[in-house]
Amino acid sequence: MLTGLYLITDDNSDGNLLKRVKEALLGGARTVQYRAKYQSPTDRIIMAELLHAACRDAGAKLIINDFPELAKEIDADGVHLGQDDMSISEARQLLGRDKLIGVSTHSVDEALKAESHGADYVALGSVFATDTKDDAKVVGIDTLRKVRRAVRIPLVAIGGIDPVGADLAIEAGADAVAVVSGVMDDLTPSIAAREYSL
């Protein structure tokens, strides 16, 4: 079950990714999604293995964004897929039944489709306006409530979530809140993570 703070890594540009993630884990992050679209394959594997070890030590889950093959290679806890990525059935065939498969969704219909195709959880967003993704469309809290009523699998709220927004999202039915810059850009990720983890 996904609950609490679902941390998503940023573009790793300052070389302190592992340190910041470890601090966020100390602050209570329960799941880490490693997003590494701009890393070389070698660097991606090395960092994924380091993050996996850190998550194991903290009792947290590591989810790989967009790369099911990498999730399989390092035996991560699962993979997160976008609407245009590998299908859920293909990812399931690659990873097996015991790994988590999450899917990004933007509507009730997409969430229901992901659930019916075997997703273990759905992420819905952008719940609020965000600067993290240029193409993010705001779906709002009302859509979050509708998705919560429609699906039985865990629901992760994502997009523009600050600590106040996290409370609103949880009240609306989210099981977890996904945060990037609110934790990764903070000078003290452990304290920032704690604000989302309460």
Q: Which of 22, 104, 146, 148 is catalytic?
A: 104
Concerning whether 104 is annotated as a catalytic residue, the answer is yes
Q: Which of 20, 35, 44, 99 is catalytic?
A: 35
- 3-class DSSP assignment, residue 110: helix
- 187 burial (CB, 10 Å; 0-12 / 13-18 / 19+) is exposed
**155, 159, 152, 198: which is closest to 182 by C-alpha?**
159
Q: Is 13 a catalytic residue?
A: no
Place of tokens 């993010």: 136
What are the Cα distances from residue 121, in Å, to 153, 163, 186? 5, 22, 27
Is residue 133 annotated as part of the catalytic site, yes or no? yes
Active-site pick, 19, 56, 133, 137: 133
Nearest to 178 by CA among 33, 40, 14: 33
Active site residues: 35, 104, 133
